[in-house]
Amino acid sequence: MEIALAQSPVVFSENPHGYRLGDKRMSGITSLIHQVLQLGIYPEASEFVKNVAIPRAGEYGTAVHHAIEAYDNLGIKVTAHPKSERFRQGPGDDFWNVENELETYIRHRQGFEPVANEYTVSDEVRYASNIDNVWLKVDTQGIWLIDTKTNNLNYYPGGEAALQEYLSWQLSVYAYLFERQNPEIKVEGLACNWLRHADGAFWIIERKPDNLVELLLSVPWIHTDNGFIYDGAEVSKILLGETALVPAPKVQLIPQELVQMIYQITRQADETKKVLDEMKSRLRQAMESNAVKSWDSGMFKATIASDSTAETFDAARFKNEHPDLYKRYLKQTARKGSFTIKLRD
């Protein structure tokens, strides 16, 4: 089935990110939802989070979107996308590898056919946005609007439930604008591809009523050098009264900057240990092959100790054979609980 979508006259610029209709600057949907509904915002974010962590996450998400677009439009798998120099962790860390994300996307797309990527919708008055994917569901021949997210749900304010509430508003606005731009097409469903490394989910998203969407889009705004500012206090009270309140964000026990530093240093330490162990093994083999017991490189000294035999006490056997005597020699000592950090992607 050939689907012909009406093309918006709005022009999208990726860098700097923005929408224009002729000389007029159009507002996107993201900042509207952030300011009026207070969804998807990071309260009290540190400078590190604002200037490093969020931009890095944005670049990773862009790499995923580009891989999806290449696959849908060209049928090829382009899974390596250049990293900005500021986000590289060391030699060889030059690309975002989004192979897992693309494979998950391909699984999610089964039963659908791609119609458009980055499809621009607009009211041609104030608002414009790009829809990540427009799909045709094969068995119903219905149109679905799909958004792709790569957020780390451990840090997203309010977690999965809050992200899905954000998506409900975002995709509902998209559906409203899409149907007015294509009056002969009714949107059948809304969904999200959540893709993060080896994890992924396909969420069916609830559509908000059009009258609530219209109320949200009616919020007055002004455009300044710092972006769009929305006067939506009264509308916010009405909309949040009509919808379920978003769960309170998880308590942030320590600054996000410290979390990021722990993660980066721990990851680097783990990777460095693997390389160091391999190098030490190769050095020992070289010394043993040349019958060298001690070698001074000028920067460090390597020594191979003589083989020896160690005597150990078999406490388990002694306890089994002499349980009463074992108990007489037991001593209790207070020990502080161990503290471990296990990295998660």
**Which residues are CB-contacts of 99 (< 8 A; sequence separation ≥ 6)?**
77, 79
pLDDT for position 246:
42
**At residue 294, what are phi and psi to the nearest 5 degrees?**
-140, 135
> Which tokens hold the place of 265?
């240093």
pLDDT for position 264:
67
CB of 190 closer than 8 Å to CB of 205: yes
**CA distance between the termini of the chain:** 40
Report d(CA 178, CA 7) in Å as an integer.
10
| HSE-CB of 68 using CA atoms within 13 angstroms | 30
pLDDT for position 249:
43
| HSE-CB of 267 using CA atoms within 13 angstroms | 11
Q: What is the pLDDT along the chain (345 residues), one digit of tens a residue?
A: 578 899 999 998 776 678 889 888 888 898 889 888 888 887 666 777 777 888 888 899 999 999 999 999 999 999 999 988 888 888 888 899 999 999 999 999 999 999 999 999 999 988 999 999 999 999 999 999 999 999 988 888 888 999 999 999 999 999 999 999 999 999 999 999 999 999 999 999 999 999 999 999 888 877 777 677 877 777 877 787 654 334 444 444 455 556 656 766 787 787 788 888 888 999 999 889 998 899 888 888 999 998 888 888 888 898 899 888 888 888 888 888 888 877 765
pLDDT for position 248:
40
Buried b (16+ CB within 10 A) or exposed e, 6-30: eebebebeeeeeebebeeeebbbbe
Buried b (16+ CB within 10 A) or exposed e, 153-187: bebbbbbeebbbbbbbbbbbbbbbbbbebbeebeb
CB of 95 closer than 8 Å to CB of 118: no
Distance of alpha carbon 258 from its chain centroid, rounded? 19
**Which residues are CB-contacts of 103 (< 8 A; sequence separation ≥ 6)?**
none
Three-state DSSP class for 53? helix
For CA atoms 262, 268, 270, 276, the dihedral sign is: negative
**At residue 4, what are phi and psi to the nearest 5 degrees?**
-105, 115
> Which tokens hold the place of 227?
């972006």
Helix or strand holding residue 256 (H, E) = helix 256-289
C-alpha distance from residue 146 to each of 22, 112, 115, 203, 343 (Å) = 28, 11, 11, 10, 31
C-alpha distance from residue 191 to each of 143, 144, 230, 275, 329 (Å) = 11, 7, 27, 43, 65
pLDDT for position 24:
85
Digit-coded pLDDT (tens) for 96-126: 999 999 999 999 999 999 999 999 999 998 8
